């Protein structure tokens, strides 16, 4: 089924969608819930939201190259407009008043959450906080019960080569943005605020914790984490019992996805080798996670296979 962008935002503080179930990785993050978020001028909260925007932008950017370069390997595709959106209703009730102030979003509307560089959306100067009023002359409804209708407007609206998106800036100015959507894998990457270093998937989306993103300042390394989780999604691993075999398969798939997207896979494995491995499997064969040694040998074998390939862009999974 085709879905559109990120209706289900995972802002700081709480997951609006409860998507931490069925995680494939060990150490499922505990979402950090502050005791109180009632003061609008709370600078800590302001900092968290600023960080949220920055993390989303980075995650969207790194995931985009993997999603766009690997459409022939993904079972489900979407038309990606180069920006992601969110709604006030995506956020838990307790932080909505804060989100209004900090993110400039209101009830009933669809708002720009992040804009990827080097897209028509960026060229057309779309900015986080802008509201989407209509797509190809189909108005977005402010009525809460029209969620399904709004979703269809967006989904159908980006099927064409050129989409006309009517935007209203926070200052109330309206303009028509000409958006050229791109076909991409329908795997969304989302940030979850957590102090636990972890990446996992619920079978549809890739969920990366803020702590993990901060622990991997290099985009190649972040891409390896995203690509590993994308591998789980593409192979449908969420429906199977966790096992070392699936983990090693996701690792091999990750290198293929990365090579096709133009990432330096040698560097990725070298980074991985030097990194700490908090969720490393034990020596026991009963562990669902392979040992670091087993993963390393698996990576090396797949690197060897990839290097023999004549064209990285048409590389297939093993």
Backbone angles phi, psi at 66, to 5 degrees: -70, -40
> Which range in 39-47, 70-78, 249-257, 261-269 contacts Zn ion by CB under 5 A?
249-257
Residue closer to Zn ion by CB (options 87, 237) is 237
- Distance from first CA to last CA of the chain, Å, rounded? 26
Please tell me the number of Cα atoms within 13 Å of 87 on its side-chain side: 21
For residues 51 and 57, what is the distance between their CA atoms, to the nearest angstrom? 10
**What is the smallest separation between the CB atom of 25 and Zn ion, expressed in angstroms?**
5
**What is the smallest separation between the CB atom of 298 and Zn ion, expressed in angstroms?**
12
For residues 315 and 318, what is the distance between their CA atoms, to the nearest angstrom? 9
Residue closer to Zn ion by CB (options 132, 224) is 224
Residue 168 is encoded by which pair of tokens? Answer: 């209203």
Each residue 14-43 as x (binds Zn ion by CB under 5 A) or -, in order, gives ----------x-------------------
Residues 51-90 that bind Zn ion (CB under 5 A): none
**Can you spell out the DSSP letters for 2-48?**
---TTSS---TTS-SS-TTTT-SSSSPPPPP--S----TT-HHHHHH
Residue closer to Zn ion by CB (options 26, 32) is 26
Residue closer to Zn ion by CB (options 82, 281) is 281
Residue closer to Zn ion by CB (options 9, 225) is 225
**What is the smallest separation between the CB atom of 206 and Zn ion, expressed in angstroms?**
11
Residues 194-233 that bind Zn ion (CB under 5 A): none
> With left for phi above 0 and alpha for psi between -120 and 50, is residue 82 left, alpha or beta?
left
Residue closer to Zn ion by CB (options 90, 229) is 229
**What is the smallest separation between the CB atom of 149 and Zn ion, expressed in angstroms?**
37
Residues 229-248 that bind Zn ion (CB under 5 A): 247
How many residues touch Zn ion under the rule CB under 5 A: the total is 3
**What is the smallest separation between the CB atom of 318 and Zn ion, expressed in angstroms?**
17
**What is the smallest separation between the CB atom of 289 and Zn ion, expressed in angstroms?**
8
Backbone angles phi, psi at 167, to 5 degrees: -115, 145
8-state DSSP, 312: G
For residues 203 and 146, what is the distance between their CA atoms, to the nearest angstrom? 27
**What is the smallest separation between the CB atom of 228 and Zn ion, expressed in angstroms?**
6
Distances in Å between the alpha carbon of 228 and those of 60, 68, 138, 221, 310?
16, 16, 38, 11, 23
Residue closer to Zn ion by CB (options 12, 187) is 187
Residue closer to Zn ion by CB (options 33, 245) is 245
Exposed, middle or buried: residue 243 (CB in 10 Å: 0-12, 13-18, 19+)? middle
Residues 250-289 that bind Zn ion (CB under 5 A): 250
**What is the smallest separation between the CB atom of 241 and Zn ion, expressed in angstroms?**
13
Distances in Å between the alpha carbon of 84 and those of 76, 237, 273, 275?
18, 26, 33, 31
Interacting residues toward Zn ion by CB under 5 A: 24, 247, 250
């Amino acid at each position: 089924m085709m879905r559109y962008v990120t209706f289900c935002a995972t802002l700081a503080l709480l997951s609006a969608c409860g998507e931490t179930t069925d995680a494939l990785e060990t150490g499922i993050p505990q979402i950090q819930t502050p005791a109180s978020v009632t003061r609008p001028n709370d600078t800590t909260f302001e900092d968290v939201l600023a960080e949220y925007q920055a993390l989303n932008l980075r995650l969207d950017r790194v995931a985009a190259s993997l999603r766009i370069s690997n459409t022939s390997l993904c079972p489900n595709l979407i038309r990606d407009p180069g920006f992601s959106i969110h709604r006030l209703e995506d956020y838990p009730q307790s932080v909505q008043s804060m989100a209004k102030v900090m993110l400039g979003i209101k009830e009933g509307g669809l708002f720009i959450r992040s804009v990827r560089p080097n897209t028509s959306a960026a060229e057309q100067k779309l900015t986080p906080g802008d509201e989407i009023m209509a797509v190809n002359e189909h108005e977005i409804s402010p009525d809460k019960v029209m969620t399904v209708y709004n979703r269809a407007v967006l989904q159908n609206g980006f099927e064409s080569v050129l989409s006309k998106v009517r935007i209203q800036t926070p200052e109330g100015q309206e303009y028509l943005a000409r958006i050229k959507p791109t076909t991409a894998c329908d795997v969304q990457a989302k940030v979850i605020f957590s102090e636990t270093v972890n990446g996992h998937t619920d079978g549809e989306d890739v969920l990366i914790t803020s702590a993990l993103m901060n622990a991997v300042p290099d985009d190649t390394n972040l891409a390896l984490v995203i690509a590993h989780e994308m591998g789980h999604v593409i192979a449908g691993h969420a429906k199977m019992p966790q096992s070392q075999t699936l983990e090693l398969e996701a690792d091999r798939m990750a290198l293929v996805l990365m090579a096709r997207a133009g990432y330096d896979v040698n560097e990725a494995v070298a980074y991985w080798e030097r990194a700490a491995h908090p969720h490393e499997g034990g020596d026991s064969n009963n562990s669902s996670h392979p040992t670091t040694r087993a993963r390393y040998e698996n990576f090396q074998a797949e690197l060897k296979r990839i290097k023999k390939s004549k064209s990285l862009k048409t590389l297939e999974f093993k």
